[in-house]
Chain A
Amino acid sequence: MRHQGGLIQRVIQTIRGSRGILAGLMVAAGLFALPSFGLAADAAPAVATEYRDIPGIGSRNIVWVIAQLHLLLAGFVLGVPIFAWLCEVVGWKSGEKRYDKLAKEFTKLLTSSYATTALFGGILLFLLIAFYPKLMNYLTDIFFPSFIFYCILFLLETATLYLYWYGWDAMQDGGKKTFHIFLGFLLNLFAFFIMIVPNSWATFQASPVVIAEGTDLQRAWAATWNPTWWPVNIHRLIANVVLGGYICGAYAGIRYLAARNAEERDHYDWMGYVGNFIGVFGLLPLPFAGYWLMREIYQYNQQMGITLMGGFLSWLFILQAMLIGVLFLGSNYYFWLGITHRIPGSEGQYKKPIMAMLVILLLCLGVWMTPHSLVASLEEARKMGGTHHPLLGVFGVMSAKMTVANLMILVTFMSFIMYWRAGKQETATWAKVARAVMGAVLVIAALAVIVLGVWGYFVPAIIRINYFSTSQVLIVLFVMLTITPLTALLLKSARTTTEMVWGRMPPRAGYALVLNAVMVILLMTLMGYARSSSRVHWHIYGVMRDSSQYAFSPALGYAAAFMALNTFLFCMLVAFIFWVATMGDKGKAGYGGGAKGELPHGMPAMAGGSQSLSKLKG
């Protein structure tokens, strides 16, 4: 059975399944937009239209912006519930109410951000149907069953979100709280499926599996379970945690910079710490997921892998190295500022290790950013004997880059452990042994990573990729999985020697948090371009060729302008969502008031209401 017709009807049904108001908005947007698409549509009525365009602006540019914003918003609305749920669980387990309040504050954002994401999704869908009817018809034909599943997921997610958010105050104690935690888990579970279903559509375009035989369901399932589906699922899941954490950090950073009293400074300083912590928590395993994805791409189609890593996109990975490097530096810098400013008297104690880590990070970043082939004039290339620099050329290959990436992860992990242990003295009898073991594990692991990296130059690529690089990744994972629980055990019985003092961070800490968030968003836009461009002139790689005037992939400079624009627009959208979500709190604080030190019911102190609260107190 084929589904060649009735696409629009099916789409409208799809949208109707999620939200009435949104569907209305999207239908309206689509109806407003449709006449303009017709301007550039093919005139001959007998031939099916393959493409439409808006002259001057370009259909691809419009889709690029809307799709990227939708994807970033989707990452945000999937990352925030993970972040909020983690905070709620920590608050529930530790009994610290501030974590619960933080979780609630971020869950509050979900209602408005969810609607915004769905709105952009709807606009994107209409644009795709209008601009790429042939492609959309083909995808609908294959993925129709998953469209229905997607609608059901949206219904479940929406219902769970309503219960989770509106039931927050009512489900605070005993078994009700446990149920609320379970609701949070369900929310994330449905969100995960909401993420992986469209991932199958996107990954199918890059690594299609098409079967001619079988039922609709069998064909959809075969197409869904394509070679890059799970690597992208895992990569995006972790990336969403990172995005959620760093956006929380950036929000806290901005509020910290604008804080008007000590209470606000304390609070937003702490919020920034939590956001950065969760961001780094996700950032550490993220490169491994990226490595897995690239490996699967190479396994699937070597040409695609080469196009990405060694072809016209190779310089993109130098930009990626720069962004990741700045992100690592920014995260570490924030840790270091925390150690030196929040823990009085620790400046001298940690100065040397911080300097050492900074030097290692900068050296690693330098190696990671060394290109495989240098930009050189003919004369320069002749002098060098090629486009490889005689000395620096050795750093331009994968063996070097994998080594320094792993070392940077190790250094960041060390920063994190150092911050965790700062201001505490271990009292366990086995503390000395544990410290020695941890030190030895770190040193041996770092040496092993370097040895494997150097050895990698002297073995065939297949050995290096299959065994050496994988071993490097496993070594670093082993370090994290041994030292983290060991440190947690050590600190369980540790004595606090110096209390952490919140609200003393310099303003540059706030800017560091904002920088980290911008880096993560830019990275997402950059890799979105890479993923899309790796298909080169194919809508569906090897199956459906792009025969439009936009079948080319633009150069990096042009693409970067769009990445910057999309990043800026997304930042403004998020700022708007935060502003809208906290507007009600300001109103409540203004009207309701309340006794000094007492929060109006349901109004957490950390965001939005704080300023009004301080005015009340004042």
Chain B
Amino acid sequence: MSEVVKLQLIGLSVVGVGIVILLFVRAQFARVTGFVAIVLGLFSLVALSVPQMASLPPAEEKFDIATVKTPTDMAAIGQKIFFSKGQCALCHSIGPSESARCPDLKGIGAKLSREFIFESLTQPQAYIYLDYRHEGLPKEYPARMPYINKNPIGLTKNEILSVIAFLQQMSGEPISVNPSELEVPGQTPAAPVKAGDSVPVAVAQAR
């Protein structure tokens, strides 16, 4: 028996108990308790009737550099990161979508160079749209894109390169990222830290 079914049975039982109390008990406080039980039971049943989605922490993609032989291997890892740790699909779609809130990324690997994509991910405010259609100083429209290499997402350089490989692959472009560019742990500067392990860092999140 699944957890949802068990909870539904509990909800139904609570409603049933409430109905029995209302039908057979005369003491007012008990009757009100029965009424409350019915309301709470119904609430639980409604909550169980909507899609049941739990939010799992993103799976840490094992990045064993020794196993990454080709750019296609990188793209395969990048695809997983795109839909999990990177949280890209939370806002972006690949192809037209009714629910996407940010630019459609279909073909983006063909439109933009890998350097520009890397910069967009790591320095999203590097180029800000300015509106000059009025008197005085131009109005700034800062990008909504988060810094992908910083927390809460905190992709490593290797992970970002893999995502770029995926974006290029799904755009039908030759993958310009090479496994030789991957940083071997211990030989290069450390990847973005897990801030939880560190002492307070400089402004972590501020408007």
Whether A associates with B in a native complex is yes
How far, in Å, is A417 (CB) from chain B's closest CB?
29
Which residue from B14, B90, B144 sits with its C-beta under 8 Å from A307? B90
Write the chain A residue with the least CB distance to B100.
Answer: A310
Considering only residues 210-263 of chain A, those with a C-beta below 8 Å from chain B are: 210-212, 219, 227, 253-254, 257-258
Tell me which residues across on chain B come within 8 A of A556, comparing CB atoms. 47-48, 50, 52-53
Q: Flag if A541 contacts B152 (CB, 8 Å).
A: yes
Report yes or no: A306 in contact with B101, Cβ–Cβ below 8 A: yes
Question: Which of B10, B39, B203 interacts with A211 by CB under 8 Å?
Answer: B203
CA distance A210 to B195 in the complex (A): 11
Q: Contact flags (1/0) for B28-54 with A, using CB distance below 8 Å?
A: 110110011101110110111011111
Given A303-B87, A518-B39, A561-B10, residue A219 in contact with residue B204 (CB < 8 A): no
Given contacts A212-B200, A542-B152, contact A553 B55 (CB under 8 A): yes
Q: Is A301 an interface residue when CB atoms closer than 8 A count as contact?
A: yes
Q: Is the CB of B151 within 8 A of A543?
A: yes
CB-based contact A310/B101 at 8 Å: yes
Known: A315-B50, A315-B51, A556-B52. A212 touches B201 (CB 8 A): yes
Beta-carbon contact of B151 and A557 below 8 Å: no
Closest to A206 in B: B205
Q: Are B200 and A515 in contact (CB under 8 A)?
A: no
Partner of A254, one of B4, B29, B146, B152: B29
CB-CB under 8 A from B126, the residues of chain A are none
The answer to whether the Cβ of A511 comes within 8 Å of any Cβ in the partner chain is: yes
Q: At the interface, yes or no: A388 with Cβ under 8 Å from chain B? A: yes
CB of B172 to closest CB in A, whole Å: 25
Instruction: Name the one of B29, B41, B47, B200 contacting A319, with C-beta atoms under 8 angstroms.
Output: B47
- Quick one: closest B residue to A135, CB to CB? B196
Interface residues of A in 312-344 (CB under 8 A from B): 312-313, 315, 318-319, 322-323
CB pair A539 B196 closer than 8 Å: yes
B194 part of interface (Cβ distance < 8 Å): yes
Nearest Cβ distance between residue B143 and chain A, in whole angstroms? Answer: 10
The answer for the CA separation of A257 and B56 in the assembled complex, in Å, is 47
Q: Is the CB of B200 within 8 A of A542?
A: no
How far is it, in angstroms, between the C-alpha of A169 and the C-alpha of B91 when the chains are bound? 61
B185 to chain A, nearest CB (A): 19
Instruction: Note all chain B residues with C-beta closer than 8 A to A128.
Output: none
Q: Is A558 an interface residue (CB 8 A)?
A: yes
| A207:B3 contact, CB within 8 angstroms | no
CB pair A315 B53 closer than 8 Å: yes
* B131: chain A residues within 8 A (beta carbon): none
- B-chain residues with CB within 8 Å of residue A538 when the two chains form the complex: 152
CA distance A498 to B15 in the complex (A): 42
Q: How far is the CB of A260 from chain B (nearest CB, A)?
A: 10
Once the chains are docked, how many angstroms separate the CA of A558 from the CA of B81? 28
Structural contact, B196 and A545, CB atoms closer than 8 A: yes
Given known pairs A254-B29, A306-B91, the reply for A559 and B55 (CB within 8 Å) is no
**Interface size of B as a range:** 35 or more
The 0/1 profile, CB within 8 Å of B marked 1, for residues 424-455 of chain A is 00000000000000000000000000000000
* Interface size counted on chain A using CB atoms at 8 A: 74
> Across the interface, do B53 and A555 meet the contact criterion of CB distance under 8 Å?
yes
Residues of the A chain whose Cβ atoms lie less than 8 Å from the Cβ of B99: 310, 372-373
B202 sits at the interface (CB 8 A): yes
* Cα distance, A323 to B47, chains bound together (Å): 11
Distance A23 CA – B40 CA, assembled complex (angstroms): 34
B66 interfacial by beta-carbon distance below 8 Å: no
CB of B115 closer than 8 Å to a CB of A: no
A563 within 8 A of B: yes
Q: Which residues of A contact B144 (CB under 8 A)?
A: 302
Cβ contacts under 8 Å, B43 to chain A: 319, 323, 522, 560, 563-564
Q: How far is the CB of A376 from chain B (nearest CB, A)?
A: 10
Q: How far is the CA of A318 from the CA of B40 in the complex (A)?
A: 16
Nearest CB of B to A388, in Å: 6
| Chain A stretch 325-374: residues in CB contact (< 8 A) with chain B | 372-373
Taking CB as reference atom, which chain A residue is nearest B35?
A511
Residues of B within 8 A of A555 (CB): 52-54
Contact A514–B32 (Cβ < 8 Å):
yes
B57 within 8 A of A: yes
Taking CB as reference atom, which chain B residue is nearest A579? B29
From A551, which residue of chain B is reached at the shortest CB distance?
B57
| Nearest 9 CB-CB pairings of A with B | A560-B47, A537-B57, A544-B196, A542-B152, A557-B48, A555-B52, A542-B151, A553-B55, A564-B40
Q: Give 16 new A-B contacts, CB below 8 A, not counting A564-B44, A571-B36.
A: A142-B200, A219-B200, A258-B28, A303-B152, A310-B101, A312-B54, A522-B43, A536-B152, A541-B152, A541-B205, A554-B54, A555-B53, A557-B3, A557-B48, A557-B50, A561-B10
* Selected A-B contacts with CB under 8 Å, 15 pairs: A2-B199, A208-B204, A253-B32, A258-B29, A303-B87, A306-B90, A315-B50, A375-B50, A533-B55, A542-B205, A552-B56, A557-B52, A560-B46, A561-B10, A563-B43
